[in-house]
Amino acid sequence: MTNKAASDLSLSRVFVMTLKRDLLLAYRRRNDLVSPLVFFLMVATLFPLGVSPEPQFLSEVAAGVVWVAALLSTLLSMDSLFRSDFDDGSLEQMLLSPQPMALLVVAKVCAHWMISGLPLTIMSPLLAVMLFLPSEGLSALVLTLLIGTPTLSLIGAIGAGLTVGLRKGGVLITLLVLPLYIPVLIFGTGAVQAATGGLPIAGYLAILGAILALGIVLAPLAIAAALKISVSN
Amino acid sequence: MSRPLLDVKDLFCERDDRVLFENLSFSVSRGEVLQIEGPNGSGKTTLLRILSGLSKAFEGELIWNGQALADVRDDFLEALLYFGHLPGVKATLTPEENLRWYAALHPQTDSITERIFDALSNVGLYGYEDVPCHSLSAGQNRRVSLARLYLSRAPLWILDEPFTAIDKRGVAAIEALVETHSQNGGSVILTTHHDLAIKGLRQVHLGGENSTEWGTSGGGK
């Protein structure tokens, strides 16, 4: 029993340490953090200029624009998730440590979400207001992004794991991951549109939550396996 | 002492249609230091990656403590310290932060902070604990990684070119550490082009037409 308790303790400790390490690494390279956010903001700023500044039109497409921008911005930041660990050998050390790789991977994805998906979610109301999203849809937008962006990070990490060994993995990640992003996008924007139409969104949220639950359970295993393959070559 | 710690049987590895080694058999017992020798490109690093389990592109048997290595992978990983070509040091973290994370991957019960500082002073980085690694020299970065040897309690060390970019005194210190480790019953498998002055050192030669233990010819192509 005590042995098991001790190993549980060491597991949570290694999770926290890895999470803290990745957050610290991100903090030390703050400049890199800003670019996905700037991208997110730029899409929302340029869109009305490029298409139409009519509030009527914008309010209809706002949910879609914010969601697509969030999705692409997550995708943009995905490639770097394992890159530096792969290049400097930290990934080898993670694979050769007695800790379960899936746990370390969850910690890394969690840190990635905290520095990409979470700020996007927090910024989204601002963009929604800029795009005249009706106020009834605002909470739905934040909620769906809050549930949806971790899923995007988890799925994207599978692609990042598979392509980290390749020199030019960026495009390939997009091809691998984008089809899997589509359901999240559909239910995310669907929920916001339902909310602006005064319809209940519990069903949409339940499906997004189910996708996230599935992702939390299965994606770490897939990511760990993908990284093993990438490192063994 | 009777049973070898790691037993390698009939290892065969091919890379880009070139046979790196075949029928390679050797074993490492507790307290032994084994040097893998061979010219550049003879497959030393590949062999170490196979032994550590990073690479699966081989045929043959790896036996750990009398059991197939793949079956007892968890036990093996707890007993392994792998020092590869890539130092595994994050440039934006300080040596202390780097080692702290590394120590979390290999949990130990006793006070880790003290041991990290001891390890850092052992590799000559006393006073550099809080300097980001990107402002350290290449050799100092290798030393950060080598400090893991002082932290480790793992019985089996696999070291790939541990002396790269290390100065003479550093090399002597690491050599002494390897010797101490083997005297304490640990095993070391390493590659290096340095001449090692370690008692009881065994060598495996790669890169000849036949890869043989105790190789008679040091030749390569």
ipTM of the complex: 0.86
pLDDT tens for A177-205 read: 999 999 999 999 999 999 999 999 999 99
Find the domain containing B144 and state its range.
93-152
Cα separations (Å) of A193 from A54, A61, A134, B9, B165? 18, 9, 10, 64, 61
Percent of chain A with pLDDT over 70: 97
B97 and B206 inside one domain: no
Q: How far apart are CA A128 and CA A66, in angstroms?
A: 7
Give the residue ranges of DSSP H helices in chain B.
44-52, 73-78, 95-105, 112-122, 138-151, 168-183
Question: Total structural domains in chain A?
Answer: 1
Residues B50 and B104 in one domain: no
Q: Is residue B196 part of a domain?
A: yes
Amino acid at A177: V
Do B8 and B55 fall into the same domain?
yes
For residues B44 and B100, state if they share a domain: no
- Give the number of other Cβ atoms within 10 Å of residue B175's Cβ: 18
Residues B74 and B167 grouped into a single domain = yes
Minimum-distance CB partner of B84 among A10, A89, A98 = A89
Q: Say if B97 falls within a structural domain.
A: yes
Query: Could you tell me which chain A residue has the CA closest to the CA of B85?
Result: A89
| Residue B183 and residue B135 share a domain | no
Average pLDDT of chain A, as a whole number: 92
CA distance B172 to B169: 5
B88 in a structural domain = no
pTM of structure: 0.90
Alpha-carbon span A31 to A24, nearest angstrom: 13
Asked if B178 and B118 sit in the same domain, the reply is: no
**Same structural domain, B7 and B63:** yes
CB nearest A89 (choices: B78, B88, B104): B88
Same domain, B113 and B12: no
Q: Does A95 touch chain B (CB under 8 A)?
A: yes
Taking the CA of residue A116 and the nearest CA in chain B, the distance in Å comes to 20
Closest CA in chain B for residue A90: B88
B54 close to A (CB below 8 A): yes
Whether B53 and chain A come into contact, CB under 8 Å, resolves to yes
CATH number assigned to the domain comprising residue B53: 3.40.50.300
Alpha helices in B7-63 (DSSP H): 44-52
Query: Residues of A numbered 22-61 whose beta carbons fall under 8 angstroms of chain B's beta carbons: which are they?
Result: 24-25, 28-29
Query: Do residues B2 and B73 share a domain?
Result: yes
pLDDT band at A27; cut points 50, 70, 90: very high
Q: Which domain holds residue A134?
A: 2-232
Task: Specify if B202 maps to a domain.
Answer: yes
B140/B189 same-domain check: no
